[in-house]
Amino acid sequence: MEKMGGLNGFEFGPDDKLYGPLWFKGQVAKVDVDKAELTVVADGFKVPAAVNFDSKGNLFVVDTALGQLVRVDPRSGAKTVVAQLKPSLDNLAIDDKDRIYVSNMADNGIQEVDPATGQVKQIIIGKLALPGGIGVTSENGKDTIHVADVFAYRTVDGVTGEVTEKARMHAAGVTLEYPMSATAKGNDVILSSWFTGTVQVIDGKTGATRDMLHGFKAPHDAIVLADGSILVAELGTKSLVRVSGEHGKDRTTLIGDLEGPVGLVGGPSGEVYVTEAFAGTVARVDSNGEKTVLVRELKMPEGIARASDGRLIVAEVGAKRLIEIAPETGKVAEIAANLPIGLTGAPGGLPTHIPTGVAIGATGVIYVSSDVENAIYKVVKK
């Protein structure tokens, strides 16, 4: 069967029919797999994500957009909200005592729900979901770290570590598309996702989306240039692409033939610095598209930031370390080693998977994201 409407987390019911949510239709359906016949059981969901049966034949559904756990009568289709949770629900499981366990992508968490009372117990939760790229804005010496948290966009206080959620995936009325890379300059925060091919421009103070640009091929870092245009490291085309105009409709290639452009940071004279993860290089690209390789033979360089004195700070993910590069000489010095970075992705996916982010605060403090420990680390000279 094809074009069912996004069949997702499914299960066979007591009647040997396959029950599952139709993500894009807001319905729960059952399928006679022998006859290839589909019947709608219940509708009116926002975004149903998964279903499961308990021992009594009750059907439970999680609505990821509304954050609801719903009981459905599989015969009549009648619905009852069992528990109001947070949006970004992913899946559910029911044990032999009919206790329901619900996972949440944005919370990196699991909750236990008593279906009789609706009482909820948090089993595990994370402050971050899956941090990728990061950017920093500073005001009065205070750093705010903007985190592309894949299932959410969050900020972190550079002093206290306090986490503030700005947006989460799949929540009704929220604009967000699996952010994996982030940069920040002034009041502009740029999130991008190689998974959805999007670049999102956000107001750093309010968290409001200013623009959502589509149609990129595996975009990684994107930065705002002096003239207000955006430069995108488009890994899918091996290019740096300059974007301007309404909704980014005007696009020109600054330079091509890059081997895995991931990290991107601007320089003081219109030049940019880019990490080429697959080539193991860090290069300077001038405003005319001329490229100069500064360092070779690195192991999967990803996130990059530029210090006030011109040093380049790079996450060398393949070596699990943080390095600094003198752009004039190409000299490399190790800053920190044995870092928990470089989460291995699924077979056949991008080797870079979730890009490791690097950013520098107002006082020169270095921040680096960990996709292994789901953490943000602060690096300070001893």
Instruction: Write the pLDDT tens digit of every residue in 329-356.
Output: 999 999 999 999 999 988 888 999 999 9
User: With contact defined as beta carbons under 8 Å apart, do 50 and 91 qualify?
Assistant: yes
Element containing residue 257 per DSSP (H, E): none
Question: Number of folded domains in the chain?
Answer: 2
Range of the domain at 63: 11-124
| Amino acid at residue number 328 | E
Task: Of 226, 273, 232, give the one whose Cα is nearest residue 252.
Answer: 232
- Does residue 80 fall inside a structural domain? yes
Element containing residue 173 per DSSP (H, E): none
- Does residue 4 fall inside a structural domain? no
The whole-number pLDDT of residue 138 equals 92
Residue 382, SS3 per DSSP: coil
Do 172 and 249 belong together in one domain?
A: yes
The whole-number pLDDT of residue 247 equals 87
Q: How many CA atoms lie within 13 A of 366 on its CB side?
A: 23
Do 44 and 116 belong together in one domain?
A: yes
The whole-number pLDDT of residue 118 equals 95
Do 120 and 138 belong together in one domain?
A: no
Intervals of the chain under pLDDT 50: none
Q: What mean pLDDT is reported for the chain?
A: 95
The whole-number pLDDT of residue 1 equals 65
Domain-ending residue, one of 124, 158, 192: 124
Do 301 and 169 belong together in one domain?
A: yes
Domain-ending residue, one of 102, 124, 146: 124
Integer Cα distance of 114 and 83 in angstroms: 9
Do 176 and 107 belong together in one domain?
A: no
Do 282 and 348 belong together in one domain?
A: yes
The whole-number pLDDT of residue 83 equals 98
CA distances from 94 to 59, 70, 367 (A): 11, 14, 40
Domain-ending residue, one of 105, 124, 143: 124
Do 76 and 156 belong together in one domain?
A: no
Do 325 and 237 belong together in one domain?
A: yes
Instruction: Write the pLDDT tens digit of every residue in 354-368.
Output: 999 999 999 999 999
